Amino acid sequence: MHINDLPQELLSDILLKATKANKAEGVGYTYGLTQNLLPLPSEAPKFTRYVRGPLSAECLRWDATDSIRQTCKQWHDWALSYNFERVFERRWRGSERWADLTLRRPKYNLYELIDKPKGFPLYRDPHGSLKQTDRLFASLPTTAQHVQRLWFNGFYAAETDKLILSVVASCRELQYLSVPWTILRRAGVNDWVNLLNAHTGVGKPLHSLELTAVCLPKDQAHALENDTTPNPLEDARVDFRSLKRLKIFGNTLHKPISDEDLQLMARTATNLECLDITNLSTISVAGMLALVKASAKTLQVLEHSPRSDDGFYHPFPGHLEEGEHVCELLANLPQMRDLSISVPYVCADLFHNHDVKWAGELQVRAIDICGCGSDTNSQVRADKLRRVLEAARAMMALKRRMHQELSVELFFAGCIFHPEKKLVHGDFALAEVASRGRWPFDKQPSTLGPYGQSGRYGKDEGFWDAVSEEDYLLAVTNHWIAL
C-alpha cells in the first residue's frame, strides 16, 4: 500500500511528526553584523558577525517543511496548510545592515568559515512584509484558504489598514483575528461585513476578534483624528451574532473604543462566550454590562480589569441604569465559569446563587458596598463587608462539597481579602499607630502588594502584612481603620 493511500489523519500525523523532527534538528538562529567604529575615517569599516537571535516561529515552520513541500503535490498541500494556518504580521522596526548571508540556513556552518563578513546598510520598507502577504493571497487564493489565524501588530496607518482589510478579505476560512483598533475607525461597512463574515455564504464566520490599541506618535494620531469615516457599527448589516470571543486590550487617547461602540455591538453580539476588556480606561462598567446583558445566556468567561497597572484605581463606573444591581446580574449568568471583574459596588448578593458554574479563581475588585453612600458609617459598612465574606465562604464550601475548586479574592478598600483563609492583606502601619500599638493582635508578613499577586512592581510602597478577618473588622469598629 502506498503511503499516500493511508487515511488523511494518519498521513497528516506522520507528516507532523516529521516536521517536528526537522524543526528540532534545523537551524534556529540567524546572524547580524555590527560595525566597529574606527579612529581614522580613511579606513574601511570593519564588520563583526554576531548571532542576532532566534529565528521567528514562521521561519522555523517554513524550514521544517522544506523537504516535505518538494515531495509530491499531496504533501506540498499539507505543508502549505501547516505553514499558513497561522499568519503573524509585525511591523519592521529599526534599520538593518544586510549581511551577505545565504538564504539556505542549513549552510550556515559554511558562513562561519568566512572570517571577513561583508555587509551594506539597507533600507527596508516597514510595511514590506504586509504588502507581500497581500500580494501573495491575492495572486494565489489557494494559499489564503489555509489561513485560520491572523495577527497584526504595529500597523496603525491608513495605508496599512487598507492592506490588513484586503488580507482579511482574502482569508475566507479565518477564525481568529487580532487587529489594531484603527480598523474600527477607518474601515467601512462592507469591510466589517467581510471581516465578521457572518452571512456572506463563503467560508466560515469569524470566531474570535481582538482589538488592540496603543498611543500613537503625533503624525499618526493627527491622521486618525482627522479621519471622517462614519462608525461602521451603526449599520445593521454589521452583525456580531456569530462571534464567540471578543477581546479589547490596551489604552489609547486617539478615537478610543468607547461605551458607545460596545452598546452598538451589543445590538447583535448575543452569542459571546468570552469577553475580555483589559488594560484600558475608555470603557466603563456600563459599556461592559451592555455586552454582558446581550450575551447573558452564553457568556462563560468575563474578564474586566480596566487598568491592571493602576492597582486599586478604577475607571468611572459609567452611566448605570437607575436601580441596576450588578451583583444580581452577574450571579444569574447561567453559563458563567471564569469571572474576574472590576465593579463600582459589590454585596453578598453576588454569592447568593449557588447554582453558578464558577470555578478556579474568582477576582472581584470593588470601590464600595452596594447600598452604601458618603453618609454610611464605618460600622454599617463593616457589617455588610462581613456578610460579603461569609457569603463567599459559603459558596466555596458548597463547591468543595461538590468536589469543585473555587477560590475568591476580593480587592476592596486598599486591601486584598482571602475569605477562604479568613485573611486580609494590606498596609496597616497607620492603623497600628492609631491603636497606639495595641493592634493588630497577630500579623504575618504578606507577599502581596497593591498590584495583587504581582506584588509591588518594584515600587517603594511600604510592606504589606496579613491580619485575620476578625482583627481587621475589629479595627474598623474601633475606628483604627476607616472604611
Shortest separation between residue 331's beta carbon and Zn ion, angstroms: 9
The three cell numbers locating residue 403: 468536589
> Which CB atom, from 266 or from 370, has the smaller least distance to Zn ion?
370
| Residue 392 CB partners (closer than 8 Å, separation 6+) | 351, 408, 410, 419
> Which CB atom, from 347 or from 415, has the smaller least distance to Zn ion?
347
The three cell numbers locating residue 75: 504533501
Characterize the bridge pairing of strands 423-426 and 406-412.
Answer: unpaired
> Which CB atom, from 347 or from 475, has the smaller least distance to Zn ion?
347
Shortest separation between residue 326's beta carbon and Zn ion, angstroms: 6
Q: Is 364 in the site for Zn ion (CB under 5 A)?
A: no
Say how far apart CA 27 and CA 38 lie, in whole Å: 33
Cα distance between the two ends of the chain = 77
Using CB under 5 A as the binding criterion, the count of chain residues that bind Zn ion stands at 4
Name the one range near Zn ion by CB under 5 A: 245-253, 347-355, 381-389, 468-476.
347-355
Q: Which of residues 307-336 bind Zn ion (CB under 5 A)?
A: 327
| Residue 413 CB partners (closer than 8 Å, separation 6+) | 483
Name the one range near Zn ion by CB under 5 A: 118-126, 370-378, 443-451, 466-474.
370-378
Q: Is 370 in the site for Zn ion (CB under 5 A)?
A: yes
x-marked contacts with Zn ion along 246-275 as a string, rule CB under 5 A: ------------------------------
Name the one range near Zn ion by CB under 5 A: 104-112, 195-203, 244-252, 342-350.
342-350
Shortest separation between residue 340's beta carbon and Zn ion, angstroms: 17
> Which CB atom, from 27 or from 329, has the smaller least distance to Zn ion?
329
Say how far apart CA 202 and CA 200 lie, in whole Å: 5
Q: How many CB atoms lie within 10 A of CB 17?
A: 10
Q: Which of residues 399-438 bind Zn ion (CB under 5 A)?
A: none
Say how far apart CA 192 and CA 168 lie, in whole Å: 10
Shortest separation between residue 275's beta carbon and Zn ion, angstroms: 20
Name the one range near Zn ion by CB under 5 A: 102-110, 351-359, 369-377, 467-475.
369-377
> Which CB atom, from 162 or from 352, has the smaller least distance to Zn ion?
352
Shortest separation between residue 178's beta carbon and Zn ion, angstroms: 35
Name the region of 371 (left: φ>0; alpha: ψ -120 to 50; beta: rest).
Answer: left
Q: Is 348 in the site for Zn ion (CB under 5 A)?
A: no
Q: Is 368 in the site for Zn ion (CB under 5 A)?
A: no
Identify the residue whose cell numbers are 448605570.
Answer: 320
Q: Which of residues 108-167 bind Zn ion (CB under 5 A)?
A: none
| Contact call for residues 369 and 345 (beta carbons, < 8 A) | yes
Shortest separation between residue 349's beta carbon and Zn ion, angstroms: 5
> Which CB atom, from 272 or from 341, has the smaller least distance to Zn ion?
341
Q: Is 347 in the site for Zn ion (CB under 5 A)?
A: yes
CA 352 to chain centre: 30
Identify the residue whose cell numbers are 477581546.
Answer: 247
> Which CB atom, from 257 or from 331, has the smaller least distance to Zn ion?
331
Instruction: Tell me the angle at which helices 285-294 and 259-266 cross, rounded to the nearest 10 degrees.
Output: 10
**Nearest partner of 75 among 26, 27, 16, judged by Cα:** 16
> Which CB atom, from 352 or from 393, has the smaller least distance to Zn ion?
352
> Which CB atom, from 239 or from 349, has the smaller least distance to Zn ion?
349
Shortest separation between residue 325's beta carbon and Zn ion, angstroms: 5
**Nearest partner of 64 among 26, 107, 17, 105, judged by Cα:** 26
Specify the 3-state DSSP secondary structure of 327: helix
> Which CB atom, from 343 or from 466, has the smaller least distance to Zn ion?
343
Length of the chain: 483
Shortest separation between residue 348's beta carbon and Zn ion, angstroms: 8
DSSP state of 320: P
| Contact call for residues 195 and 239 (beta carbons, < 8 A) | no
Shortest separation between residue 380's beta carbon and Zn ion, angstroms: 15
> Which CB atom, from 84 or from 412, has the smaller least distance to Zn ion?
412
Shortest separation between residue 145's beta carbon and Zn ion, angstroms: 50
Q: Is 349 in the site for Zn ion (CB under 5 A)?
A: yes
Say how far apart CA 428 and CA 464 lie, in whole Å: 7
Shortest separation between residue 374's beta carbon and Zn ion, angstroms: 18
Q: Which of residues 39-58 bind Zn ion (CB under 5 A)?
A: none
Q: Is the peptide bond before 440 cis (omega within 30 degrees of 0)?
A: yes
Which ranges of 358-450 does DSSP label H, i.e. alpha helix?
378-401, 429-434
Name the one range near Zn ion by CB under 5 A: 121-129, 346-354, 392-400, 405-413.
346-354
Say how far apart CA 29 and CA 27 lie, in whole Å: 6
Q: List residues near Zn ion by CB under 5 A.
A: 327, 347, 349, 370
